Structure 1
Amino acid sequence: MLESELKALSPYSSLRPGQLRIAKTVYMTVAQGLFTVIEAPCGLGKTIASLMGIALSLQKNLIRRAVWLTRTNDESDKVIEEARRLKNRGAVLRGLSLRGKSSSCPLFRGVNEELSHLACRALRDESLCPYLDQEKVDHCADNLSREHHLVTSVEVIQVATKEKCCPAAVMKRLMKNSNILALTYPYVFNRYVYGVYFKPLQMHDTAAIIDEAHNIMDSAIEYESKVLRLSTLYNSIDELSIRRAELVSPLEDLADALRGFVNNDLSQGVDVPREEILKMILRHFKDPLEYLEKLREVALDMIKTRALRGLTIRCPTYSTYTFLEKALRTNRDHAIWLHLDTEGELCVEVRPLTYDFKQVTSKFHGVVLMSGTLSPISVFIKILNLEAENSKLIKYVRPKYGHVVFIVDRSISTSLKNRSERLYKAIAYKLKVVRDSTEGGLGVFVPSYGILRALEAVGLKELLQGLTFVDEGKGSPSIEVFERFKNYVERGADATLVSVIGGRLAEGIDISSQLMPVAVIVGLPMPEPTLYNMKRVEKLRSLGFKRPHRAVFTEPAMRKVVQAVGRLIRSPLDKAVVILMDRRYSASLIKRYMPKWLSYKLYASDNPLCLLQEALSSLKVKVY
C-alpha cells in the first residue's frame, strides 16, 4: 500500500534502484519523528525520492510543513524545481525557496545578513523604504500564489522587482501558507537569522531534510564563530574616536596586544585567553556588560544613520561588538585564537570546538540527513553528539554505482615537512605529463589556496598545454569558470580546470566523466595542525573519542576527496580515472572512506603515467 502511494507521486514510470527505499525511509522518519541518516550515490535521485516521502507525509497530514536545507541558494531553487515534477494532485505541495536580504534586497544586496536586517529595520521604523509597501507586497504574493503552487526565490525576486516591492517581504508573506520551504543552512544554524524568519512559526510539527549533510558540522561551527580582523578593529577605533571617544581605550589595548604578536610565528595560531580580553575592558570600565551595551548602542546608531542617508551599510564597530560579545560569553567549549586569514591578514577568532546537533533535532518532528559521502557513518553520528541507537541508518550498497580507477602516485607527499619549491616544481611537471597524455578535459584539485598559489608561482599554467581555467576562490563565480572550461572541451579543445578541493568547484557542480575523464587530486587535503584544530583533538578526546586525531584531520580530508570523486560519478554508467598524487593514500585508507556504493579499482605506482592509458582503455571512456 505504502509503495503504491509513493509511486503514484513519482514523475517517472520506473524508479532507480534505491529510490523507493529512500522515499519509504523519509516517510517513516516523518511518521515516527525519527532521526535518520541516508548515504546514497551522488546523482541517484535522492532529492526526488525524498520529496515523494515528504509529499505523502503532507498529504496524510503527518506534519504541517517540511524545510529542506541546502548549502547554496542555487541548490535550494533546484529543490523547488524538482518538487514541480511530482504528480502534485490537489496542489498538496505549496511552497518556495528562500533567499535572505543579502541576496534579494534591492538596497542592501551583498551586505552581511545581520547588518541588512538592522538597516532594513531602521528604514522600516521611519517608513522610508521605497519597496516596503504592504499593499504591493500582498498583491505580489497573492498573484504568485495563484499562478504557482511552487515558486523559486529567483522567480519571486524577478516579479517583486518588476512590481517595485520588497522581495524578502514577499517571501516571508508566502511562507505563511507554504508547506515546503527550501533554504540554506543559516536559516537554522545562524541563531539571528533563525529568529527573524522562524520565530513566528511553530516548528514542532515541521520535518527537516538536510542535504549535503557531510558539510553540516563545519557549517554549524562556522555560523557560531565570530572573526575580527585587525584592520576592522582599527576602523572601529577611528569610528568611535569621532562619536564616543570614551569607548576607545579598551579597543586600543586590544589592538596593541594583537599587534604585539605580529613578529611571532603565526603559522599555527596563538591562544588568546578570554581573561586577557576581559582585563582590557576592566582597566577602563567596571562592568564589561555595560561596556558591551554602550558599544552596541553606538553601532546600531551608526547603522541607522547610514541606512537613512543612503550610505554604504558597513559598520566596523558592530563587527567589533559582536566579536567581543561572543568572546566574553564563551566557555571552555570554544577557542579564542589569533591567526592569519586566507588573505594573510591578522585576525582574532572565537570558534566552537564542537557543535551539539541535538539543539537542531529538538526543533523538528523528524530529521533526515542525506549525502553520498558520510562514511564511516558511526563516527559522523557521534561527532554530532547523537546516539547511534536512536538513529536510523540507511546505506546504499547494491548495485554498484559508476566505476573509478584510482592510481596512487607513490613518489609524492605533500605533508607539511615536504613542502618546498622543489616539491611544487615536481608536481607541476607531473601534471604537465598527465596533461600531455590526456585528451579533452582534465581536472586538477589541490589541497589549499596556498598550494595553488605555489604551483602558479612555479609556472603551472604555462606548462599545461591547451587552455587552463583556475578557480582562484575570488573574482569570477565558480560556475562561470566551469562553464568556460565546459564550452571549450565540448568544442573539442584540450582544457584543464584547476580548483581547491573542498572549494567552490569540488562540490555542488556536476561534472560529467565525459567532460572530465581524468582528474588529479594533488596531495591529501589534511587540515593544518593549527592551535584550533589541536584544541579540537583534545576536546574530542575528553568526550570519549578513541581516535580524535582521525576525526579532526583524516576524516575531513577524505570526505573532500570522496566529494571531488563524486562530481565525476553522476550516473550508474559514469567511469573515470582519478590519480591520487600522494603516497599517503594507502589501500586501507581508500577502503575505509570510499562509500560502499562506488565500484572502483586501486593501483599504485611511482610513475602513474604508465598506468593511465591502460586505465582509460579499460574503461573505454568517451571524451568530447
Structure 2
Amino acid sequence: MSAESASPATEKAPRYRVAVRTLCDFTARQGDLDHRFTPAPTAQEGIAGHARIAARRGEGYVTELPLSGRYGGVQVSGRADGYDAAANCLEEIKTHRGNLERMADNQRALHWAQVKVYGALFCMERGVSDIRLALVYLDVASGRETRFEQRLAATTLAVFFDDQCHRFLAWAESEARHREQRDRLLAGLAFPHASFRPGQRELAESTFKAMATGRCLLAQAPTGIGKTLGTLFPLLAAMPRHGIDRAMFLTMKTPGRRLALDALATLTAGSGREPSLRVLELVARDKACEFPGTACHGEACPLARGFYDRLPAARQAAVERGWLDREALREVAREQHVCPYYLGQELARWCDVVVGDVNHWFDANALLHGLANANAWRVGLLVDEAHNLVERARGMYSAELDQRQLALVRRSAPAALKRPLARLARQWQEVVKDAGLGEAGAPGRPAYRILEALPGGMLAALQGLVSAITDYLAEHAEGASQALQTLLFEALAFTRLAESFADHSLCDLKREGRGRAVLGLRNLVPADFLAPRFQRAHGGVLFSATLAPGHYHRDLLGLPADTVWRDVDSPFAAAQLEVRIRADISTRLRDRHASLEPICTEMASQYVRRPGNYLAFFSSFAYLEDALAQLRERYPAIPVWHQRRGMPEAERDAFLSRFVPGGEGIGFAVLGGAFAEGIDLPGTRLIGAFIATQGLPPFDSFNEALKARLQARFGQGDDYAYRIPGLIKVVQAAGRVIRGPEDSGVVVLMDDRFARREVRTRLPAWWQLD
C-alpha cells in the first residue's frame, strides 16, 4: 500500500498514532551503540539555536510546520523545524558542540530518517513531485552551520515512508495482539493460594480501590502478611479493568526485586507457554555489564559494535521470551550478541511490569518517568519499603562540590582550562573565608556552616567552568581525564539544582581537612520534586511496616491531598512478643558511659533466662564498641559478633550466617544500618532484640536547620526532624524478631524516653508494653 493511497477521506480513524521522532527512533537507527561522553547542548541552548537559524532565513521562512499523513492504520504526525518556500527546502535542525565528526553514526541515520519522513508527509499534503531536504547542524558555541542537502522525488520518499510505517505497523499490530492476550489473562487472574493471610485481603482490596479510583494509598502493613503479593495481585487485576498500561514495582534494595519477581512468578504460574505478561527486571549498568572497564562504543566493546543492526532481532527474541529477569535478559543478550544493559533499557518500553529501583521513577532523569511522559502511559506504581523514600529522595535532589576534585584537575589541566579553573579556585577561597572556616582546622573556627544564600560569585565561576570544559571536550574528548569528567559531572549536577534552589533545600559548607572544603546543596523537603511524579501516575501504593504517622510521609513526599491512609491490622498476637522498657537507663550522649553497665546486665540476664540468638542495636559504632568490650569483659561465656564500619558484602553475609536455627549468641549492630531492616531471620534464628537508642538523628547544626525549615513549612519541626525518623528505625529493628505466626521473642527498649506517653502511643498498637 502506498502512502498516497492510504488516506482517502472515507477511511476510518487510524488504529495507531505515532510521532515522527518515535517512528524513526524505532525503525531507522543503524550501526554501533556509542555512549562516549560528548558534550551536548542543553534544552535551552537547543531552543535558542533553532531561533538563531530561523532569524537567518528571512521573512518567508516557516518554523514548526505541522505535517501529518497515513499509512494503513497508522497516523504519523510531527512538526518540521523549518520550510523555505522560495527554495522549496524542508530543514531539520540539530544543535551540537564541537567536532561534528564525533557524532555517532546511529544519530546521523536517525536525523536523516526524520527529515525524509517529513519530506514524504510534505509531498503528500502539498501534492508536489519533489523537494529539497536539508540536515542543518548548528554548533551552539561558534554559531557555525554545517549543511547537508539532497533533492528527492516524492515517489522515492513515499517508498521510504511506506517502509518505515510497514515495519512499525507490523510491530504495533503485534503489540495490540499482546495487549489483548495480556488483558484476557489479567481479567481472569486468580489469587494463587487457597486463602489470603490475615490482613492481606484488606491490603489487596485497598490497593485495587486505589487503582480503580486513580488515587494514592499509604499502607502500613506488618511483616508476615505477604505485602508484595498483596499489592501486585490487585494491581494486575485492575490493569484491564481500568486501562492501566504499565505496572511498576519499585524497590529500595536488591532483595525487594527478588521478592517481587517471585510473587509475579507465582501469580503467572500455569498461564501457559504464551508470554501473556511481559516482566522486566531493571539492573544497574555496573551489575549488567559483560565487559567491566570497557567504554560503551563499538570501537571498544564487541556488544556495542553493530548494536542497532541487531536490536530488532534481539527485541523480538526478548518479547517472545516474556519473562526477563536479570539472568533471562542476559541469556537473550548473549544469544543476540548485544549489550544486556541497553537491551533492558529498550525493553522498558515494551514490558507490562517493570521491577526496579525507585530511582527509575523518582530521580531527576528517571527512565520510566520519561517513557511514561513520552508515551502518555497510565501507570500503576507500587513502592516497597516506602519509609525509606524520604531519605532516598533527599539524596536524589542533593549535590556536592569537592574542593579536592578541583585541586586534582588543576594539577594536570590543559592550558585552555587554566583560567576558568583558577577563577573557581579563587571563589572557593572567598567562600571559605566568608564562612569563617579555618583552612587548617584552626581552633575556634567552625568546621561546618550553613550559608544564608547560594554563593553567587562561585556559581558564576562554576557556570563559566562548565562551558569551558564542555567546549574543550567537544574537541578533545579522547584526551579527557577521568578527574576532569568527574569535575564536570559534579559541576553540572550542582548548577542544575541551583536553578531550582528554594526553601526545600539549603546550601552548606564543611571542612574535611587541610585545603579541602565541600560545598553542598542539600534537599530537605523532597515533596517539591516528587509531587509531579505522583501526579503523573494513574495510581500509587506506598507500603511498609513503618509508615506511621501518615501525615509525615504525605507532607514530605508531596503526595496528593486525597491520598488514602490505611493501617492494616497485625496478624500477630501480643503474646508472641514480650516488649519491655528499661526506663532507668538513659542513652543520651552525656550518660552513655554510665549506661554501659545496666545495658550489659540486661542483655546477659535475658540471655541466661532464654538462651538463643539476639541482636543488639546501638546509635553509633563507638557506642557499640564500648558496650561490646564491657560485655566481653563481664560475661565472657556469651558468644558475640559485631558489625564493623564499611563491611563488604562477604562479611555482611558472614555476620548473618551466625544466626542459625537453635543458635546462641548476641550480634551487635548499628541502628539504621545494614542489619536493622530488610533481613529475614525467622523462627529460632532470632528470638530477641535489644535497642539501646531512640534512633534520633544527631543534634547538630544541619538537623537543627532541618528542624527549623520543617517547623516553618509544616509546623512539625521536632517530630519531622527527630522523633518520627528515630522511631521508624526502632520499629524496623524490632520487626526483625517476629517474622511469622509461629515466632515468639522479646524486644527490650533501653532508654527512659520510650516510657513517655507521646512515644508509647506511636509504637505498634499490637505491642503489649509492660
Query: TM-score, with normalisation over the residues of structure 1?
Result: 0.80
Query: Separation in 2 of the partners of 1:557 and 1:508?
Result: 17
The answer as to whether partners of 1:68 and 1:208 remain within 8 angstroms in 2 is yes
**Residue in structure 2 matched with residue 294 of structure 1 by the alignment:** 468
**Residue in structure 2 matched with residue 179 of structure 1 by the alignment:** 352
Moved more, 455-464 or 514-523: 455-464
Deviations 1:202-248 (A, max 9, x none): 25411111111111111111111112344334324335366621122
Q: Is residue 564 from structure 1 mapped to residue 733 from structure 2 by the alignment?
A: yes
**Residue in structure 2 matched with residue 94 of structure 1 by the alignment:** 278
Count the aligned residue pairs: 569
Q: Is residue 166 from structure 1 mapped to residue 166 from structure 2 by the alignment?
A: no
Q: Is residue 50 from structure 1 mapped to residue 235 from structure 2 by the alignment?
A: no
Q: Is residue 406 from structure 1 mapped to residue 406 from structure 2 by the alignment?
A: no
The within-5 A match list for 1:210-229 is 210-229=383-402
> Any idea what SS the aligned residue of 1:315 has?
helix
Query: Separation in 1 of the partners of 2:187 and 2:569?
Result: 22
The within-5 A match list for 1:117-516 is 120=296, 123=297, 128-132=300-304, 133-147=307-321, 149-157=322-330, 160=333, 165-194=338-367, 198=371, 201-240=374-413, 244-256=417-429, 257-258=431-432, 260=438, 262-263=441-442, 269-275=448-454, 277-280=455-458, 289-298=463-472, 305=479, 315-327=486-498, 330-339=501-510, 347-356=518-527, 357-386=530-559, 388=561, 390-397=562-569, 399-400=571-572, 403-419=576-592, 421=593, 423=595, 427=599, 431=603, 434-435=606-607, 438-452=610-624, 455=627, 465=637, 467-477=639-649, 480-481=650-651, 483-490=653-660, 492-516=662-686
- 1:529 is aligned, of 683, 689, 699, to 699
Query: Separation in 1 of the partners of 2:605 and 2:444?
Result: 37
- How far off its partner does 1:361 sit? 0.9
Moved more, 513-522 or 155-164: 155-164
Closer, same or farther: CA 25–455 of 1 in aligned 2, 3 Å? same
- 2:290 is aligned, of 103, 106, 112, to 106
The answer as to whether partners of 1:247 and 1:295 remain within 8 angstroms in 2 is no
The within-5 A match list for 1:25-64 is 25-60=206-241, 62-64=243-245
The answer as to whether partners of 1:466 and 1:493 remain within 8 angstroms in 2 is no
- How far off its partner does 1:471 sit? 2.9
Letter aligned with residue 703 of structure 2: N
Deviations 1:154-186 (A, max 9, x none): 442465367653111121232222111111111
> Any idea what SS the aligned residue of 2:753 has?
coil
Letter aligned with residue 134 of structure 1: Y
Deviations 1:120-156 (A, max 9, x none): 4xx36xx543222335555455444334x33322442
Closer, same or farther: CA 91–24 of 1 in aligned 2, 3 Å? farther
- How far off its partner does 1:326 sit? 3.2
Query: Separation in 2 of the partners of 1:396 and 1:182?
Result: 24
Alignment identity in percent? Answer: 20
Query: Separation in 2 of the partners of 1:329 and 1:346?
Result: 23
The answer as to whether partners of 2:359 and 2:366 remain within 8 angstroms in 1 is yes
Q: Which runs of 5 or more structure 2 residues have no equivalent in the other structure?
A: 1-185
**Residue in structure 1 matched with residue 131 of structure 2 by the alignment:** none
The answer as to whether partners of 1:267 and 1:530 remain within 8 angstroms in 2 is no
Moved more, 220-229 or 530-539: 530-539
Query: Separation in 2 of the partners of 1:85 and 1:339?
Result: 50
The answer as to whether partners of 1:473 and 1:503 remain within 8 angstroms in 2 is no
**Residue in structure 2 matched with residue 543 of structure 1 by the alignment:** 713
Query: Separation in 2 of the partners of 1:398 and 1:43?
Result: 9
Letter aligned with residue 532 of structure 1: F
> Any idea what SS the aligned residue of 1:569 has?
coil
Closer, same or farther: CA 164–373 of 1 in aligned 2, 3 Å? same
CA RMSD, Structure 1 to Structure 2 (Å): 3.6
> Any idea what SS the aligned residue of 1:538 has?
helix
Query: Separation in 2 of the partners of 1:266 and 1:51?
Result: 54
Deviations 1:425-484 (A, max 9, x none): 76456545555555231101122345335556768699664553333352322xx44543
Query: Separation in 1 of the partners of 2:423 and 2:308?
Result: 44
**Residue in structure 2 matched with residue 20 of structure 1 by the alignment:** 201
**Residue in structure 1 matched with residue 767 of structure 2 by the alignment:** 600
Closer, same or farther: CA 216–498 of 1 in aligned 2, 3 Å? same
The answer as to whether partners of 2:578 and 2:768 remain within 8 angstroms in 1 is yes
- How far off its partner does 1:558 sit? 0.3
Query: Separation in 2 of the partners of 1:138 and 1:460?
Result: 63
The answer as to whether partners of 2:506 and 2:521 remain within 8 angstroms in 1 is yes
**Residue in structure 2 matched with residue 81 of structure 1 by the alignment:** 262
- How far off its partner does 1:527 sit? 0.7
> Any idea what SS the aligned residue of 1:602 has?
coil
Deviations 1:30-77 (A, max 9, x none): 222111111111121111121111221223362111111110133123
Closer, same or farther: CA 426–206 of 1 in aligned 2, 3 Å? same
Greater relative contact order, per chain length (Cα 8 Å cut-off, separation 6+): 1
Letter aligned with residue 365 of structure 2: Y
The answer as to whether partners of 1:94 and 1:178 remain within 8 angstroms in 2 is yes
Moved more, 288-297 or 76-85: 288-297
Query: TM-score, with normalisation over the residues of structure 2?
Result: 0.66
Q: Which runs of 5 or more structure 1 residues have no equivalent in the other structure?
A: 110-115, 604-624
Query: Separation in 2 of the partners of 1:448 and 1:340?
Result: 22
Query: Separation in 2 of the partners of 1:273 and 1:455?
Result: 41
